[in-house]
Structure 1
Amino acid sequence: MKRGAIMSDRAMNATSKPEPSTAGRDSDPGRDPGPRVLLVEDDGKIAQEVAEELESRGFRVSRAETGPDGLSAGISGLFDVMIVDRMLPEMDGLTLIESLRGRQVSTPVLVLSALSAVDDRVSGLKAGGDDYLTKPFAMEELAARIEALMRRPNNTRETMLHVGPLSMDLIERTVTRDGEPIDLLPREFRLLEYLMRRPNQVLTRTMLLEDVWNYRFIPQTNLVDVHIGKLRRKIDDPGAQPLIQSIRGTGFMLRVPE
């Protein structure tokens, strides 16, 4: 394994306010500082090895040891990419990522986990992770994955959704149809957002229960149908072209008018 400069004590011990280490910068003060990585990992040995590998490649690494500390650092906007262990003290890694995404933090996240089943990887990506790497792993592969995440386009944060006559402001949490405001409850807003991000796609009840209600098992319930009915009555006024359509035996679709 390639070795770089040993991670500084300041970076290794940082918790609630991680700070980037300065390894690799003193030799060329005129060089642009490297990309900033937040490593949220409670295992000191793994954190040390990851930091050495990344710092040898020009990254600046800071560490948080618990979920809440990682969340506090992540929402600061100081980092270019994050590495988050799935099993963390006080707050697990997936909850941390979901909290970041809920706060509109779009920093790329690589999830580390000893859980390697397909369902585990899928849950990591559904929580908002951009990539998933299982333990044990080769440091070279981790570094390559981080570099790949850094090469992805740095799109600006999406704040508005537009589907046909519907408009949704993700910051103000408002919805309009043809300019007329629609009053939605929080769950209805989340359900409509899910539909608007997937227009003209058939969405099953299972998908909606897993992704909107975060169910990890699928109960026998008409919960989705009840909420779709309420949302339809608010979105599709009498006489207006219906947007939310039922797909017999399958689920629902938000159909965009031609």
Structure 2
Amino acid sequence: MIDALHLDSGQWLTLLNALPQDQRRTVLVTGVSEACERASLLHVGFGDVLSEAIELNELDARASRLSQFAQCLPRRRRIGRLTLDLLAREAFGDGEPLNLNPREFALIWRLADSLNDTVSKETLIYDVWRMGFVPETNSVAVHMSRLRRKLAFVGLAGVIETSANGGYRLLTPSVDVPAIDRPLHASAETLSH
């Protein structure tokens, strides 16, 4: 929560503008007296914006709603030129579909959960294959190879890196685009914007 009442407008606008787009939807801003300023902050993606005149029980209810909203899976993730669409279970490179099979999509989605961090083969087997043990198989490597080939086909070669210990990581491109992070339960009107 950010209380704009105790900051001058230049300070809180700078603070709010510094927040990445994908984090704004979980922020509750209070103390914004002007309706046009509240509307502007809502339009740029903040979860809720309130005036200084608010009762504690209403503030609690609004904060609880934002907390629940924050736990929703995003509909889309955008990582540079790569877009992942959870509802379609597809990835796109510059709008071009990769035509992923379900495991390939699950692998890249899981890697996106830990962007720039190595995810072990064991973790991928547990999270993607839902197995509690690591079988003697090269299934992860085979699926990863197919995924990399499809990424290379749309000009995204090298975004998945293999670590020395056999894990994998999805790298953020050097020129990143703000994440598109819309909840699954958002209305059709929200998704069209």
TM-score by length of 2: 0.51
Return closer, same or farther for 1:221/1:249 CA change in 2, 3 Å cut-off: same
AA aligned to 1:154 is Q
AA aligned to 2:90 is T
Aligned to 1:173: 89
AA aligned to 1:242 is G
Greater RCO between the two (CA within 8 Å, min separation 6)?
2
AA aligned to 2:67 is P
Q: What is the identity percentage for the equivalent residue pairs of Structure 1 and Structure 2?
A: 35
AA aligned to 1:256 is T
Contact (CA 8 Å) 1:236, 1:244: kept in 2 or not?
Answer: no
Aligned to 1:236: 152
Contact (CA 8 Å) 1:199, 1:253: kept in 2 or not?
Answer: yes
Q: Specify every segment of 5 or more residues in structure 2 that has no aligned partner in the other structure, as ranges.
A: 1-63, 175-193
Tell me the alpha carbon deviations over residues 66-103 of structure 1, each in whole angstroms, 9 at most, x when there is no partner: xxxxxxxxxxxxxxxxxxxxxxxxxxxxxxxxxxxxxx
Contact (CA 8 Å) 1:163, 1:199: kept in 2 or not?
Answer: no
Q: 1:172 & 1:192 partners in 2: Cα distance? A: 14
The structural deviation recorded for 1:154 is 2.4
User: Quick check: which has more Rg, 1 or 2?
Assistant: 1
Whose helix proportion is higher, 1 or 2?
2
Q: Specify every segment of 5 or more residues in structure 1 that has no aligned partner in the other structure, as ranges.
A: 1-149
Which of 213, 222, 238 lines up with 2:129 in the alignment? 213
Return closer, same or farther for 1:160/1:154 CA change in 2, 3 Å cut-off: same
AA aligned to 2:132 is R
Q: 1:240 & 1:171 partners in 2: Cα distance? A: 22
The structural deviation recorded for 1:208 is 0.5
Return closer, same or farther for 1:243/1:221 CA change in 2, 3 Å cut-off: same
Aligned to 1:183: 99
In the TM superposition, 1:1-258 aligns within 5 A as: 153-155=67-69, 157=72, 158-237=74-153, 240-258=156-174
TM-score by length of 1: 0.39
Q: Secondary structure at the match of 2:69?
A: coil
Return closer, same or farther for 1:198/1:250 CA change in 2, 3 Å cut-off: same
AA aligned to 2:88 is E
Q: Alpha carbon RMSD of aligned pairs, Å?
A: 2.1
